Amino acid sequence: MGGRPSLIACCLILPWFMGDPSPTRAVASGQVAPIASNGTLSGHELLRIGEIHDLQQHFRETLTYYQLALSRFREKQQSHGIATALLKIARVYERQGKIQEAYRVLQEALPLFARSTDRSAQAEALLAMGRVAARLGQRDESRDSFSQAVGLFTRGKDARGWNEAMVQLGLLQVSDEKSAAGLSSLQQAIEEAGTRRDAEQQLTALVALGDAHRLLDRTLDARADYLRGLRLAEADHQLPFEATLRLRLAQLDDADGALNDGVTLAKRAVLLSQTLHDAATEAQAWSLLADLYRKLGQPTETEVAEMRALALYRKREIFVHGARQEGS
């Protein structure tokens, strides 16, 4: 657990840190799409219903309505609607871990956005393609997609989009052994988010910078980044970031042999993730605790931590309105 983070762990930090892949921000969960005048739902109305389910993480219903919307847009030959529906479908596939399906859908969506005047949506699609391509090992395509997204967000004066794209690009550059360029991209993202007083994006970039330094075996720098982030997370009451940063620091303690310090940090990460109902982070924290307890020669605590981690990993399946589907 104390080793260097993988490329995927770095490039896709944690879902709640990033603007994507997340449920749509366009519709509140209480909104209801109206019925069209001819008694049928339009493609846009079907998208809105899908967005409501998306916010609630009802993946089956979300995909059903997005696919119905896609069919409606295809019937009407509305290219922008087709591209929008495809992007939404790709985001759901990405969150489900169906990366090849997401890549295929984005390949169809991107040329449609390129022919439209909606540069904001094109940038979002490029950002999604960058993440997906990275996970498939398509590094050149990923880098090109992130770079194009940065340019479009810059022209559109979308600061949050620019910042997210810079973080992703910076991590990819570091993993491609372009450390100077990558670290510069991440530092720019930290400074830009700080200027806007956007604590969430500043923390995202700080975690990413720490991960980058770990990839480069600069553990002292990584620890400094994580500690800086932890102070900001505590001051701003950003519990998801606090849990993640404590887990990162515990991993460093494990690698450095500071086992008791690692246990203290990992225990706090467990409590925070339980408060947040974040099973993924909790499972990682219990797994790390099992390693730490084993090295400390505490078999009872090791067994308990292992059982807790295994129970959480076994529950990593998709639940949709009580229907249980095996996750990817």
Query: What's the pLDDT at 191?
Result: 98
Give the pLDDT confidence of 219-255 residue by residue, as tens digits. Answer: 999 999 999 999 999 999 999 999 999 999 999 999 9
Counting the structural domains of the chain, the total is 2
pLDDT > 70? residue 291: yes
State the helix-helix crossing angle for 179-195 and 199-215, rounded to 10 degrees.
Answer: 160
For residue 87, being part of any structural domain is answered with yes
**Structure tokens of 161?**
């989009």
pLDDT tens-place string over residues 86-110? 999 999 999 989 999 999 999 999 9
State whether 170 and 271 are in the same domain: no
Whether the Cβ atoms of residue 288 and residue 264 lie closer than 8 Å to each other: no
Same domain as 230, residue 264: no
Radius of gyration of the chain (CA): 21
* Same domain flag for 259 and 290: yes
d(C-alpha 11, C-alpha 83), whole Å: 25
| Cβ atoms < 10 Å from Cβ of 70 | 23
226 and 312, same domain (yes or no): no
What integer pLDDT is reported at residue 31 of this predicted model? 36
Report if residue 125 sits inside a domain: yes
Same domain, 204 and 281: no
Among 213, 237, 261, identify where a domain stops: 237
Domain CATH code at residue 181: 1.25.40.10
Amino acid at site 174:
V
In a domain, 183, yes or no: yes
User: Do 217 and 258 belong to one domain?
Assistant: no
**Burial class (CB within 10 angstroms; exposed 0-12, middle 13-18, buried 19+) of 321:** exposed
Residue 29, judged by CB atoms within 10 A of its CB (0-12, 13-18, 19+), counts as: exposed
Answer whether residue 269 is part of any domain.
yes
Looking at the structure, do residues 192 and 73 belong to the same domain, yes or no?
A: yes
**Does a structural domain hold residue 251?**
yes
Is 67 within a domain? yes
138-147, 174-183, 262-271, 311-320 — which is least confidently predicted?
311-320
Query: The pTM is what?
Result: 0.83
- Judge whether 231 lies within some domain: yes
Please give the residue range of the domain that contains residue 198. Answer: 7-237
User: Is 1 among the domain residues?
Assistant: no
Answer with the one of 211, 237, 263 that is the final residue of a domain: 237
**Same domain, residue pair 166 and 249:** no
39 lies in the same domain as 168: yes
Q: Report d(CA 327, CA 318) in Å as an integer.
A: 6
- Clarify whether residues 83 and 194 are in a common domain: yes
146 with 20, same domain: the answer is yes
| Amino acid occupying residue 243 | A
Do both 85 and 226 map to the same domain? yes
Decide which of 237, 269, 296 is a domain's last residue.
Answer: 237
Residues 6 or more apart whose Cβ sits within 8 Å of residue 37: none
